Chain A
Amino acid sequence: SYELTQPPSVSVSPGQTARITCSGDALPKQYAYWYQQKPGQAPVLVIYKDSERPSGIPERFSGSSSGTTVTLTISGVQAEDEADYYCQSADSSGTFPWVFGGGTKLTVL
């Protein structure tokens, strides 16, 4: 079955830039979506279609794609950004994004 691979954890100091990657063979042809989940809360969509930001999401959140890797970048990280982040995308058989990555725990030092 298709898999999206994320690093288990990323650590960054406040004010620095955090980059969370997600790798998958189908990513060159499929869009990626990113969700933020804080403890005890439902996920929140922070990026869709690789690099689009929903309304209400701070500008410090951005997304990019290059080959088989997509990246969520958080510029000027704040303490409130500490959370789990999940990428999601489609496999090569269709376009519906149904596969989630394993998640990355972002720790703000």
Chain B
Amino acid sequence: QVQLQESGPGLVKPSQTLSLTCTVSGGSISSGGYYWSWIRQHPGKGLEWIGYIYYSGSTYYNPSLKSRVTISVDTSKNQFSLKLSSVTAADTAVYYCARGVGYCSGGSCYYYGMDVWGQGTTVTVSS
């Protein structure tokens, strides 16, 4: 079955760019009907959706993070990536990647939730 694995530095300095990669195994990231998301969870807090990308490259970001977020996809490596710029201590969190089921047709879109998640990776922003 499909599995997701996050990777990237666990420590990032303030003002720098946080970069994480999610590797998809057991299935193709280019398969239609899926969107690939990043979600984070601050220590002891709830979930915050960051953004998603379709294999085609179309993206959708959380309005509160949009100015600092870039999500990209590399279909040749079966990976998608997150870049979050100008980080501060407030960006310290566990970062998850997840597969969502959904598609758009005839001007309408249909979503079925995020059914596969990575285990999460902890990123600390500190000098």
Contacts and interface: CB of A to CB of B under 8 A. Distances in A.
A91 to B, nearest CB: 9
Given A31-B111, A54-B113, A100 B119 contact: no
Interface string B28-70: 0000000000010000001111001000000010111000000
A98 B49 contact: yes
Contacts of B111: 31, 33, 48-49, 95-97
A90 to B, nearest CB: 8
A95 B46 contact: no
Nearest to A86: B47
A109 interface: no
Contacts of B119: 42
A43 B120 CA distance: 10
B114 A45 contact: yes
Please tell me the size bucket of the interface on A.
Answer: 20 to 34
Interface residues of B, number: 24
Contact of B46 (A31, A33, A42, A100): A100
B109 interface: yes
A86 B108 CA distance: 26
Contacts of B47: 35, 37, 43, 86, 88, 100, 103
B35 to A, nearest CB: 8
A33 B60 CA distance: 18
Q: Which 7 A-B pairs have the closest CB atoms?
A: A48-B113, A42-B117, A103-B46, A100-B47, A33-B113, A45-B113, A98-B49
Interface of A: 1, 31, 33, 35, 37, 42-45, 48-49, 52, 54, 84, 86, 88, 95-103
Given A35-B47, A88-B49, A95-B109, 20 more contacts: A1-B63, A1-B64, A33-B111, A35-B114, A42-B96, A43-B47, A43-B114, A44-B117, A45-B115, A48-B112, A48-B113, A49-B112, A54-B113, A84-B46, A96-B60, A96-B102, A98-B60, A100-B48, A101-B46, A103-B47
